[in-house]
Structure 1
């Protein structure tokens, strides 16, 4: 948002909390709106006021409109992805490339372009939870960070900050000590974790009442991630799509999924998930693949 003064940041974070908004989703949609205003796609007439980078008061005002679903806030309250769809209808301009989202979920501050942050290049593109920075895809799947590890942390109710890779074995000892369950790391990595992840993948591909994801299109990063970083110590660095696509194929294969990321029959049998076969059939019919 172009706001770098500590007092301004603290004020907006506090206001976000007071309004009951998500700091990540709200911050993303504020930045989305700010860029559309800068580019002249959203105007003062749309906003009801000037929206300038670095202006704490104007972003705080927009936050209130979002919380109350008033004016432009009615659209932005839907989040960056759905707001982009609505603004396209209203303005006749495709603004999806300005919405930094994955599978409809806004991505937070953890990007993949610099190579200095923890998410790998397929972190969001292959995640069953889209833009969720706490559940990123990675290779090998049993590494940290990865969705198998995130799934274990969430299931065991262990904070990810306290379970870094070198302390991972300690997490299993804690689980056994607290619950008495004799689940091993190998059992989780080879059966229980992939079972959970495969169920999530099938649910994702089934879609919802009004949104469906085509893995050939949507298992990819936001277009912004393929643009070079404009500034900072890693200025000019970007991710190459061919690298992402290669990693995506490897990730699918490592979990027993086909070229579209659809779990194979042999994988369902191995994991005891044969009951998902009708759902797989529906997914393939919708995607028109065999």
Structure 2
């Protein structure tokens, strides 16, 4: 079947996109989706930007200081503070998007003046905010802007920096280990310095650039102790900023454990399969649906869209019992095959991070 050195085949077309099968029906369904989006003031006005306060205060499921807690009631991090102090463009989107959940934020005064970024959305608020002990919009925008400029993932980088900060808090990592950075909670400039080292793979940044899981393995060897219990990840992927301990957020106890994408909060699994599992997200990904535009849209509308665009009938039963399962099983197979340095063992790695078995130390739940 060809050379074993062949890793992939890329195919590029040169012609125009094909016409949709039923243009009138596509337009009618677009109106259904648009009307649904226009009814949701929250998504249009704030996007996910309300989450920085709401998820911590109301559902106790936001990472606070590397998930040592998941509750906070810091009103300084409320969406009204972002809206009034840093948002300079409130409705921003791709052409034709009815939700316009993106915002543009810029720090207008102070030492971080001029830092500019989109949103930040909830994940950036959480991981580059309370997760690092940061509770002001200006510092959060500064860190998000920097992470964007460095070309890093805010979730993975925020997670590994929070992990490093907890090790510093517990005196496992020293100021010397961190190349002179005193990595205290809430010090945005210290975290900015660490982020730059990670991007350039300088000093300790080279170690942390491997991600939280590999960093934990290597630091454990270096310090001759197990530090995986402080690494909040599943299958090597940092947990999205939605915890499971309160039971009040959408992920369930099995959501990250059983997902082929581990800590990815957009691919969580659950039961029953037809309403709460990855199989629905696989449909969204395969159909290139935006989750935010399809919130509240009946599943039937999505299948109607599929037929209107392609001209091919696809039933719910066929998708959930056959086609989606093929994709999921292929993902699982690749996960089990592993990579050059890690092999996944389900009986070991299909597990929540140890922190999620600790009780929440504060909050209502």
1:266 maps to which residue?
none
Q: SS in structure 2 opposite 1:45?
A: coil
Q: Which one has the bigger helix percentage? A: 1
- TM (norm. structure 1) is 0.78
1:224 to 329, 335, 355: 355
- Structure 1 position 198 matched with structure 2 position 323: no
How many aligned residue pairs are there?
233
Instruction: Supply the distance in 2 between the matched residues of 1:109 and 1:16 (Cα, whole angstroms).
Output: 17
Where does 1:1-290 land on structure 2 (aligned, <5 Å)?
A: 1-47=132-178, 48-144=180-276, 146-164=277-295, 166-234=297-365
Instruction: Supply the distance in 2 between the matched residues of 1:112 and 1:181 (Cα, whole angstroms).
Output: 39
Deviations 1:48-107 (A, max 9, x none): 121100111101111111001111101001100000011112111211111101011111
CA RMSD, Structure 1 to Structure 2 (Å) = 1.2
- TM (norm. structure 2) is 0.62
Greater relative CO (CA pairs within 8 A, separation 6+): 2
Point out the structure with max Rg over C-alpha. 2
Instruction: Supply the distance in 2 between the matched residues of 1:167 and 1:13 (Cα, whole angstroms).
Output: 34
Instruction: Supply the distance in 2 between the matched residues of 1:165 and 1:135 (Cα, whole angstroms).
Output: 18
Instruction: Supply the distance in 2 between the matched residues of 1:96 and 1:210 (Cα, whole angstroms).
Output: 17
Q: SS in structure 1 opposite 2:299?
A: helix
The Cα shift of 1:128 comes to 0.7
Instruction: Supply the distance in 2 between the matched residues of 1:80 and 1:172 (Cα, whole angstroms).
Output: 38
Q: Runs of 5+ in structure 2 lacking a partner?
A: 1-131
Contact persistence 1:28–1:108 (CA under 8 A): no
